[in-house]
Chain A
Amino acid sequence: MEAAAEPGNLAGVRHIILVLSGKGGVGKSTISTELALALRHAGKKVGILDVDLCGPSIPRMLGAQGRAVHQCDRGWAPVFLDREQSISLMSVGFLLEKPDEAVVWRGPKKNALIKQFVSDVAWGELDYLVVDTPPGTSDEHMATIEALRPYQPLGALVVTTPQAVSVGDVRRELTFCRKTGLRVMGIVENMSGFTCPHCTECTSVFSRGGGEELAQLAGVPFLGADMAPPPPLCPAGSVPLDPALMRTLEEGHDFIQEFPGSPAFAALTSIAQKILDATPACLP
């Protein structure tokens, strides 16, 4: 109750989107990063909150490793990635003395830090706060949802790969969303296929069909489904494996800016557009 009466550091955040998956390694951090970059290129002010405490991937993906978090009068200042301060980030990665040090914490301590990330980071005015989560349906997820509930998140993007093994885990995540009252905005199928740069044949490296199956199970949109036809033979409505995307993530560069012709660009910008379209207009 107190939280709703005192919005504090999230007062200036218009819309909160969580990126979830029951499964690890499907591309939650990748999608969070690229969604944030795409929204920023659409003129929005975006923050990213990385609540994966054991495996914080986002600092590296944005070339921000080694940056320090400073205190300001309202709490912790997020790390700004650009001079215009249009994209900011908070991650446990910035708090580690040594980047290879393992964060070996049990639930209660993880919950405490997540609460701090939500209440003590001075995000300022943001159009979107994208919250990247670790895989699973456990302490971090419950703590995040509890802490964010008073601020009425817009919803969740749920990420899968095409494989049945992934769908098997992610359908449990959909149940988690239902039980916690979190609206699923849509399913993103990542690593859909690999288009050979020489012959343009598409190989389904990680099987086929998972995204559509999940979207049907959940009764939610399969994001990007009405995109213009992708490279020959690759399934529509999904983010393909894209070596240029992988390289920019390794090197911490802006894929959306640097590779507009690359296979994954259309899918990623389409997802961002869907989010923009689904965002209710705010009173000025």
Chain B
Amino acid sequence: MEEVPHDCPGADSAQAGRGASCQGCPNQRLCASGAGATPDTAIEEIKEKMKTVKHKILVLSGKGGVGKSTFSAHLAHGLAEDENTQIALLDIDICGPSIPKIMGLEGEQVHQSGSGWSPVYVEDNLGVMSVGFLLSSPDDAVIWRGPKKNGMIKQFLRDVDWGEVDYLIVDTPPGTSDEHLSVVRYLATAHIDGAVIITTPQEVSLQDVRKEINFCRKKESQIFPPTTGGAELMCQDLEVPLLGRVPLDPLIGKNCDKGQSFFIDAPDSPATLAYRSIIQRIQEFCNLHQSKEENLISS
């Protein structure tokens, strides 16, 4: 069997069109001709833009429907409870943008100003951006191939006027594809603190998550570990710490549907307590990271 999948080296890499993995790709000739070799100026522009963003966290899962958007939204809510902390929530799920609904922002539109696109604010210190805000109807389908999706992600990172931000949380679609490659590529020079990986206990989820962990390792993303149970053994095997386990609570679904923070409706739920503990560990990790960086700079 000759068709063994390998990664795309990237249209602008030295290996573009020439690598073993390029065999059979319809773009091979184009890449080999050097068409993709012009450096993308956006990477520098994004690096500049991200200077005002202290911590960047990706929320990933190979698997769909495990609760990435639910978790991203509640991570944002939890961090934003401190009024002195500025939070940005970026939804790069172009085909299935759930964040507007979960944050109670359905129907909101994005406004342009001289300094770029304005995020939609849930609270004074919590701003949100999603392709959902650019669609005029809830029935509009975004039927885009990879390059167009990548272009949108580039714009989100380069053209949104986030201002001074303590935490940028990036909610991603399931899988290991264009969106993931793009966001990691565009943010690579701006430094990503880490990735939180979400799973459910089922093996069908764990098997996709193992792939996601391997994706992170390949892209040298620091990994915050999977958050829901059944993953303990996997975490041990892959030497990734388990941040916590979130139990099912019917109120989570209800609140997401209403666009409210579940923490407010069910402050004593075991799920709330689990989320809060996970959020605290993420904050500790980010602060530790930050002081390590500062030590490096000052030494």
Q: Which of A159-175 contact B (CB under 8 A)?
A: 161, 163-165, 168-169, 171-175
Q: Which residues of A contact B143 (CB under 8 A)?
A: 137-138, 141-142, 176, 179
Q: Which residues of B contact A163 (CB under 8 A)?
A: 253, 256-257
Q: Which residues of A contact B14 (CB under 8 A)?
A: none
A170 to B, closest residue via Cβ: B96
Q: Residues on B close to A: CB < 8 A?
A: 1, 3-5, 7-8, 24-27, 62-66, 69, 94-98, 101-102, 106, 138-147, 149, 173-178, 180-181, 200, 202-204, 207-208, 210-215, 218, 248, 250, 253-254, 256-257
User: Is A168 a contact of B254 with CB atoms below 8 Å?
Assistant: no
Q: Residues on A close to B: CB < 8 A?
A: 22-26, 29, 53-55, 57, 60-61, 68-71, 76, 92, 95-97, 99-113, 116, 134-139, 141-142, 161, 163-165, 168-169, 171-176, 179, 203-207, 217, 246, 249-250
User: Is B102 a contact of A165 with CB atoms below 8 Å?
Assistant: yes
Instruction: For residue B227, give the distance in angstroms from its CB to the closest CB of chain A.
Output: 15
A109 to B66, CA, bound (A): 27
Q: Which 10 pairs from chain A and chain B are nearest by CB?
A: A25-B65, A24-B64, A107-B146, A54-B175, A136-B95, A164-B257, A175-B141, A102-B211, A169-B96, A100-B210
Known contacts: A26-B65, A107-B178, A135-B174. The answer to whether A116 contacts B26 by CB under 8 A is no
* 9 new A-B contacts at CB < 8 Å, known A60-B204, A102-B212: A54-B174, A92-B5, A100-B211, A106-B177, A108-B26, A134-B174, A135-B65, A172-B140, A205-B250
Q: Which residues of A contact B181 (CB under 8 A)?
A: 104, 106
Q: Which residues of A contact B98 (CB under 8 A)?
A: 165, 168-169
Q: Which residues of A contact B102 (CB under 8 A)?
A: 165
User: Is A55 a contact of B65 with CB atoms below 8 Å?
Assistant: no
User: Is A175 a contact of B139 with CB atoms below 8 Å?
Assistant: yes
A100 to B240, CA, bound (A): 15
A68 to B3, CA, bound (A): 12
Known contacts: A54-B174, A106-B178, A111-B26. The answer to whether A164 contacts B145 by CB under 8 A is no
Instruction: For residue B127, give the distance in angstroms from its CB to the closest CB of chain A.
Output: 21
B100 to A, closest residue via Cβ: A168
Q: Which residues of B contact A103 (CB under 8 A)?
A: 5, 176, 211
User: Is A106 a contact of B146 with CB atoms below 8 Å?
Assistant: yes
Instruction: For residue A3, give the distance in angstroms from its CB to the closest CB of chain B.
Output: 17
User: Is A207 a contact of B174 with CB atoms below 8 Å?
Assistant: no
A23 to B, closest residue via Cβ: B96
Q: Which residues of A contact B27 (CB under 8 A)?
A: 108
A60 to B63, CA, bound (A): 14
Instruction: For residue B68, give the distance in angstroms from its CB to the closest CB of chain A.
Output: 9
Q: Which residues of B contact A104 (CB under 8 A)?
A: 7-8, 176-177, 180-181, 215, 218
Interface core residue of A24, A68, A204 (most chain B CB under 10 Å): A24
B149 to A, closest residue via Cβ: A138
Known contacts: A139-B146, A165-B102, A205-B253. The answer to whether A179 contacts B65 by CB under 8 A is no
A-B contact pairs, 16 of them (CB 8 A): A22-B141, A25-B200, A55-B208, A55-B211, A71-B1, A95-B4, A103-B5, A106-B181, A134-B64, A135-B96, A136-B173, A138-B146, A164-B257, A171-B139, A205-B250, A206-B250
Which one of B4, B106, B145, B253 lies within 8 Å of A138 (CB-CB)? Answer: B145
Q: Which residues of A contact B106 (CB under 8 A)?
A: 168
Q: Which residues of B contact A60 (CB under 8 A)?
A: 203-204, 207
A23 to B202, CA, bound (A): 18
A138 to B142, CA, bound (A): 8
A99 to B96, CA, bound (A): 27
A154 to B139, CA, bound (A): 23
User: Is A172 a contact of B177 with CB atoms below 8 Å?
Assistant: no
Instruction: For residue A11, give the distance in angstroms from its CB to the closest CB of chain B.
Output: 23
Q: Which residues of B contact A106 (CB under 8 A)?
A: 8, 146, 177-178, 181
A207 to B62, CA, bound (A): 24
Q: Which residues of A contact B178 (CB under 8 A)?
A: 106-107, 138-139
B135 to A, closest residue via Cβ: A172
Q: Which residues of A contact B149 (CB under 8 A)?
A: 138
A29 to B65, CA, bound (A): 12
User: Is A176 a contact of B66 with CB atoms below 8 Å?
Assistant: no
Instruction: For residue B138, give the distance in angstroms from its CB to the closest CB of chain A.
Output: 6
Known contacts: A137-B95, A174-B139. The answer to whether A25 contacts B5 by CB under 8 A is no
A203 to B257, CA, bound (A): 17
Known contacts: A68-B1, A105-B8, A112-B26. The answer to whether A206 contacts B253 by CB under 8 A is yes
Instruction: For residue A185, give the distance in angstroms from its CB to the closest CB of chain B.
Output: 19
Known contacts: A69-B1, A106-B177, A175-B141. The answer to whether A203 contacts B250 by CB under 8 A is yes
User: Is B204 a contact of A99 with CB atoms below 8 Å?
Assistant: no
User: Is B250 a contact of A168 with CB atoms below 8 Å?
Assistant: no
Which one of A97, A109, A204 lies within 8 Å of B4 (CB-CB)? Answer: A97
Q: Which residues of A contact B144 (CB under 8 A)?
A: 137-138
Known contacts: A111-B26, A203-B250, A250-B203. The answer to whether A22 contacts B256 by CB under 8 A is no
A108 to B21, CA, bound (A): 12
Which one of A53, A55, A76 lies within 8 Å of B63 (CB-CB)? Answer: A55
